[in-house]
Amino acid sequence: MSNQTVETVETVDIDRRGLMLVLSSPSGAGKTTISRAMLEDDDRLSMSVSATTRAPRPGEVDGKDYYFMEPVEFNLLVNRDELLEHAKVFSNYYGTPSEPVREALANGNDILFDIDWQGTQQLAQKSGDDLVSIFVLPPSTKALEKRLKSRAQDSDEVVAERMSKASEEISHWAEYDYVVVNDDVDRCIQEVKAILQAERVRRIRRTGLLTFVDALREGY
């Protein structure tokens, strides 16, 4: 008989509150690609689907990419206080429905937001420590313009408008907890994943720590 001992690994699941991970950047800096990659292999993370008065782009799906609606319907959500934040971006209205966010946080799940600086400021005021914000910078203005043009979903006029707004959006970089530069998308995704991983184990979110440590100290 072998006298080798088999070590069993004890897994410990400590309760925690979910967090709100915000990604902001000028349009075309790669937020959508990063967001998709973040959601791919992470079942504790889901995307917040915003309401918007913007018309759908080719391929966009109602209820998945956005809840597309008329201004009257959007105003109804605002008046009923059903949006956690809302803002006018490029002559359209965008807003975050509150209920899915509240539910996810309470269940210890995390939510990813692709929203602008105005929405991030509103969430920062309302959500305090639940919020982790990341600003994504493009490697250069030229690269940003190239990406906007190659997307081929928007007219020249819209591309020009988005380029002219890029500098204004970028000016808010210092209001964010983290800043990443999207020169290499794979590295950028790894950086955002590392931020999420570290933020998940922050003491302030881990509501189950006290009970766990008390039990440890009592010898369990």
Q: State the nearest-atom distance from the C-beta of 160 to ligand 5GP, in Å.
A: 14
Separation CA 117–CA 192 (nearest Å) = 18
Q: State the nearest-atom distance from the C-beta of 96 to ligand 5GP, in Å.
A: 4
Q: State the nearest-atom distance from the C-beta of 50 to ligand 5GP, in Å.
A: 3
> Does 30 contact ligand 5GP by CB under 6 A?
no
Q: State the nearest-atom distance from the C-beta of 26 to ligand 5GP, in Å.
A: 7
- The torsion angles phi and psi of 134, rounded to 5 degrees, stand at -125, 130
Site string for ligand 5GP, 186-215 (x = CB under 6 A): ------------------------------
> Does 96 contact ligand 5GP by CB under 6 A?
yes
What is the dihedral angle through the alpha carbons of 105, 40, 180, 98, rounded to the nearest 10 degrees? -30
Site string for ligand 5GP, 106-125 (x = CB under 6 A): --------xxx-xx------
- The DSSP-derived string for the chain is ---PPPPPPPP--------EEEEE-STTSSHHHHHHHHHHT-TTEEEPPPEE-SPPPTT--BTTTBEE--HHHHHHHHHTT-EEEEEEETTEEEEEEHHHHHHHHHTT-EEEEE--HHHHHHHHHHHGGGEEEEEEEPS-HHHHHHHHHHT--S-HHHHHHHHHHHHHHHTTGGGSSEEEETTSHHHHHHHHHHHHHHHHT-GGG-TTHHHHHHHHHTT-
Number of residues that bind ligand 5GP (CB under 6 A): 14
Among 22, 29, 89, 136, binds ligand 5GP (CB under 6 A): 89
Among 54, 151, 172, 206, binds ligand 5GP (CB under 6 A): 54
> Does 38 contact ligand 5GP by CB under 6 A?
no
Q: Which residue has the tokens 């940003």?
A: 144
Closest-by-Cβ residue to ligand 5GP is: 119
Among 21, 22, 27, 136, binds ligand 5GP (CB under 6 A): 27
- Cβ(205)–Cβ(20) below 8 Å: no
For ligand 5GP, the closer CB: 115 or 188? 115
Among the listed ranges 8-16, 87-95, 181-189, 207-215, the one in contact with ligand 5GP (CB under 6 A) is 87-95
- In the complex, the residues that contact ligand 5GP under the rule CB under 6 A are 27, 50, 54, 85, 87, 89, 94-96, 114-116, 118-119
